[in-house]
Structure 1
Amino acid sequence: MKNEWKEQIAELLGESKLLLDTASLEKYSKDYYWYSPILEPKLKHKLAEGIVLASNEQEVNQVLTYAYSQKIPVTVRGAGTGNYGQAVPLEGGIVLDVSGLDKVVEIGDGYVRVQCGMKMGVLEKKVREQGQELRMYPSTFVKATIGGFISGGSGGIGSISWGTLWDDNVLEAIVYTMEENPQRLVIRGAELHNYIHNYGTTGILTEVVIRLCPSKEWVQSIVSFESLEDSLHFAHALAHNETIPKRLLTPMEWPIPSFFVPLAKHLKPGAHVVFLETEDGTLPSLTLFAAKYKGRVSHVIEAAFYHKVLGLSDFTWNHTTLWALKAEPTITYIQAGFSPENFISQMQQIKAEYGDEVLLHFEWMRSGVRIVPGSIPLIRFTNEARLYEIIRFFESIGVSVSDPHVWTLKGGAAGKLNNMQKKKLENDPLGLLNPGKIAVEI
């Protein structure tokens, strides 16, 4: 790409909106792809040629219009907390940072309209001031942006009650296309599936409307068990118990809890644990319920400290992987879906085959009308062939796997990949939006 475009972008938006120094190129061209020992060597040298900082929709429009005219690739970025290289520019060009679009437009009864760069931790605080809360958020919510979560995530804390992003949790999105004259599309209904978990390949989100729910006071607790089987039976039963409202339900086998250094004094060596967020006032019922499954409540964080100190959710979902990596740098992970009926048998087969080479933790969640045991197993990585042998074993016993060691969108995107490919061709006819992340013929 010729250097003239940099001067012209600076003239369009102002010099402060364009970053060209080496440190900025390195910082803004990366996300958390290094969780994967397979992606890390493939992506570590990929860099944008320039970083553009947008703070409003007009600037997004200007950048897309200019980049289209010059055939410059554009990769959109929020906070860069994704794990699959979603925000890594495979073909250079521009990384368009939209974290400057960070305003709440409107808070209504059961919804919030917000710009895509708003950090989810800030948004949670703002809506709780109005007596509401986010239905769900990722474990990275202190840093993650709402647009990045919708474009690269799927579920998180709250999914035990409210499901995934596809479960009517996104009501509307404002999307810009990559054309000679970019369109500002207002997307609602089933059409939203072309833009949820799209890696910014089918259009760039600038504003979204998401559902809220009435806020609750949440108490956090750790329930300890002598056996992994008992912890999973408890988690399954609690997931289906509607008398104890929940925001988090995460069973973990030992030695995963040993990786959580800040919690060391609250964790008994050798104990399998379940991390919970339940509505304040439910602790007596929860204690009795746990006892039925040979569990005991071993640590409690009172509701008054919720989101004011390091919380249990900071050790769940893919933050579990982060803590594990700090303890054992060779650990990696996969994303798996266990059978709601046969998860105990599947767990036992995996442990019999791999022992501590594969460490299991689960996230009970809703998906559509079902309650399912999702999982992000930790793998003590040796080589790529062995990793894919483990994946094939999971699949052979009926455990579905979404491979986090590739940067391309696959059919796991809520089964909507074919429609997304068609929308990519329609909205991005030159294939300039985050090229290489979705397979289409241009």
Structure 2
Amino acid sequence: MFESNILSKFERELGNKMIVDIDQIINYSIAPYVVSPILSKMNRDIIGIIKVSNEDDIKTILQLAYKYNVPLIMRGRGTSTIGQVIPLKPSIVVDINNLTSDFEMDNEYVRVRPGDKVFEILRYLKRHGKTLKVYPSSLYLSTIGGYIAGGDVGIGSFQFGYHFHAGIKYLKVYGSNANILEVREKETLGFAQAAGTNGVITEAEIGIMDRDDWKDQLITSKDLLQILEIIKTLPREKTRRIIIEDSDALSLVGRLTGLNEWNLIISSTLKLGSEIDGRFLDELAFAAVYVTFSKISGFKNYFYEVRLLSLEEFYEVISEIKKYLGRKVLIHGDVMTLRGKIIIYTVFMSEKRNFKIIEDIMKKKGIPFEIHSIYINDRVDEPERLELMKKYKRLLDPKDILNPGKLRLDT
């Protein structure tokens, strides 16, 4: 069989780092945090697992994969919710969790390796009075390599927007034939959010900032417009994160009392509202929210959708959706600043049947309602970054070995 012949060549070179145990293969074939029923159906079985511990392992794997046209998927903790680690072809999964480092830092950047856990980086920086400018809500689980290659927003995005605009100074990247490329500053944008489709990141320098004493605070109102007006007044330099929740969503996770129809949670150095214990907030940040609610919402046929809306669009769309669906839909919004404008990462969660109503309202407002997509092209909202990704795909992975099928070159 094709797979057996190929796997034996990997086993000869990599010894017990190559795993073909059926139980582990089943485990690695599943993307545990993908709750989209559309994406989940795209999954294909993997044919083996390799647990790397150094760059020499990476070189060996790439050389063999390139020679025998074997698809590879780099995987950290598998926390992606948008299908980054779903194999579209029978593939070898390369586990990078042991590709770690002793951190190095200066006043503006920290040097890391892809298997470094985000939580460990944050703990290291905290000892030096620093923190990452932007980091994922899955900080207790995720690796920094997965976040650089696949993430976009996170905690700190109200201040800095996308994590890659907050500052990636340097990336060391391997192409599929084991050639090494070092990229700096703007060129790093060709690999951030590309989900490992055009290169394997083995080292990075990412932006950090002074750590401050942020307090989590709650402001409630029956009036959504009042909530949105408050957001306009908040200074970015003193406000770390902002979350909008309807009462049903927040009460399910936060178990808070005294909630109104609309609730604003603000992490700030300013005194703005009632101080709360925000230990539950990581369950409500960006992608974490629809994973959380897939488990606790009570919807029989749970479904979700995400749109990036301006303040005005958020008010118009949410007001109308609530008029039709009321408490049958849960609304969550993470507030970001993208290219100088306040944008709300808006999550709709409901029974699947209700999304026909939501879709119709979106279309009426002139807002395209996109279905869940496996393609990088459909998630990158800056054409120049997408062109950089394609450029490096052609240069570093012309045979489409790395996470194949997810970056289209023709559109």
Asked if Structure 1 and Structure 2 have the same fold, meaning a TM-score greater than 0.5 normalized by the shorter chain, the answer is yes
Structure 2 length-normalised TM: 0.91
Question: What does residue 290 of structure 1 align with?
Answer: none
Q: Secondary structure at the match of 1:198?
A: coil
More displaced, 314-323 or 153-162?
314-323
Asked if structure 2 preserves the Cα contact closer than 8 Å seen for 1:259 and 1:323, the reply is no
Asked if structure 1 preserves the Cα contact closer than 8 Å seen for 2:286 and 2:345, the reply is no
User: Which deviations, in whole Å up to 9, do the C-alpha atoms of 1:222-271 show, x marking residues without a partner?
Assistant: 22223333333323333xx35x71211001112112321xx32x234654
Alignment of 1:142-221 (within 5 A): 142-179=140-177, 182-221=178-217
> Aligned partners of 2:41, 2:369: CA distance in 1, in Å?
23
Q: Secondary structure at the match of 1:376?
A: strand
User: CA 1:2/1:320 → structure 2, altered by over 3 Å: closer, same or farther?
Assistant: closer
> Aligned partners of 2:128, 2:227: CA distance in 1, in Å?
36
Question: What does residue 265 of structure 2 align with?
Answer: 275
The residue identity in structure 2 corresponding to 1:12 is: E
Deviation at 1:400, TM superposition (A): 5.6
**Structure 1: tracts of 5 or more residues without a match:** 288-296
Asked if structure 2 preserves the Cα contact closer than 8 Å seen for 1:177 and 1:427, the reply is yes
> Aligned partners of 1:85, 1:437: CA distance in 2, in Å?
10
Question: What does residue 114 of structure 2 align with?
Answer: 116
Q: Secondary structure at the match of 2:276?
A: strand
> Aligned partners of 2:219, 2:315: CA distance in 1, in Å?
19
Asked if structure 2 preserves the Cα contact closer than 8 Å seen for 1:33 and 1:39, the reply is no
Deviation at 1:148, TM superposition (A): 0.5
Q: Secondary structure at the match of 1:255?
A: helix
Deviation at 1:120, TM superposition (A): 0.6
The residue identity in structure 1 corresponding to 2:264 is: V
> Aligned partners of 1:338, 1:411: CA distance in 2, in Å?
16
Q: Does 1:437 align with 2:406?
A: yes
Q: Does 1:79 align with 2:69?
A: no
User: CA 1:203/1:251 → structure 2, altered by over 3 Å: closer, same or farther?
Assistant: same
Question: What does residue 346 of structure 1 align with?
Answer: 317
Deviation at 1:376, TM superposition (A): 2.1
Q: C-alpha root-mean-square deviation of aligned residues, in Å?
A: 2.3
Q: Does 1:300 align with 2:276?
A: yes
User: Which deviations, in whole Å up to 9, do the C-alpha atoms of 1:340-361 show, x marking residues without a partner?
Assistant: 4443223223333444444322
Question: What does residue 224 of structure 2 align with?
Answer: 228
Deviation at 1:201, TM superposition (A): 0.6
Asked if structure 2 preserves the Cα contact closer than 8 Å seen for 1:249 and 1:277, the reply is yes
Asked if structure 2 preserves the Cα contact closer than 8 Å seen for 1:337 and 1:400, the reply is no
Question: What does residue 373 of structure 2 align with?
Answer: 406
The residue identity in structure 1 corresponding to 2:15 is: G
> Aligned partners of 2:127, 2:370: CA distance in 1, in Å?
37
Alignment of 1:221-370 (within 5 A): 221-238=217-234, 241-242=235-236, 245-260=238-253, 263-264=254-255, 266-268=256-258, 271-279=261-269, 282-283=270-271, 286-287=272-273, 297=274, 299-301=275-277, 310-327=279-296, 328-329=298-299, 330-370=301-341
User: CA 1:124/1:42 → structure 2, altered by over 3 Å: closer, same or farther?
Assistant: same
Question: What does residue 20 of structure 1 align with?
Answer: 20
Q: Secondary structure at the match of 1:87?
A: coil
> Aligned partners of 1:370, 1:228: CA distance in 2, in Å?
19
Asked if structure 1 preserves the Cα contact closer than 8 Å seen for 2:220 and 2:260, the reply is no
User: CA 1:423/1:402 → structure 2, altered by over 3 Å: closer, same or farther?
Assistant: farther
Q: 2:343 aligns with which of 359, 372, 397?
A: 372
Asked if structure 1 preserves the Cα contact closer than 8 Å seen for 2:335 and 2:344, the reply is yes
Deviation at 1:60, TM superposition (A): 0.6
User: CA 1:57/1:138 → structure 2, altered by over 3 Å: closer, same or farther?
Assistant: same
User: Which deviations, in whole Å up to 9, do the C-alpha atoms of 1:177-215 show, x marking residues without a partner?
Assistant: 012xx2111111322222111111111111111000011
> Aligned partners of 2:169, 2:340: CA distance in 1, in Å?
19
Asked if structure 1 preserves the Cα contact closer than 8 Å seen for 2:321 and 2:358, the reply is no
Q: 2:365 aligns with which of 383, 390, 397?
A: 397
Deviation at 1:33, TM superposition (A): 5.5
Asked if structure 2 preserves the Cα contact closer than 8 Å seen for 1:139 and 1:318, the reply is yes
User: Which deviations, in whole Å up to 9, do the C-alpha atoms of 1:407-442 show, x marking residues without a partner?
Assistant: 11124313333442332122112111111212237x
**Structure 2: tracts of 5 or more residues without a match:** none
Deviation at 1:318, TM superposition (A): 2.1
User: CA 1:115/1:402 → structure 2, altered by over 3 Å: closer, same or farther?
Assistant: farther
Q: Secondary structure at the match of 1:2?
A: helix
Asked if structure 1 preserves the Cα contact closer than 8 Å seen for 2:172 and 2:204, the reply is yes
User: CA 1:392/1:58 → structure 2, altered by over 3 Å: closer, same or farther?
Assistant: farther
Deviation at 1:221, TM superposition (A): 2.2
More displaced, 322-331 or 192-201?
322-331
Question: What does residue 9 of structure 2 align with?
Answer: 8
Q: How many pairs are equivalent?
A: 405
Deviation at 1:402, TM superposition (A): 5.6
Question: What does residue 29 of structure 1 align with?
Answer: 29
Deviation at 1:154, TM superposition (A): 0.5
Identity of aligned residues (%): 25
Deviation at 1:373, TM superposition (A): 2.2
> Aligned partners of 1:370, 1:418: CA distance in 2, in Å?
23
> Aligned partners of 2:126, 2:363: CA distance in 1, in Å?
41
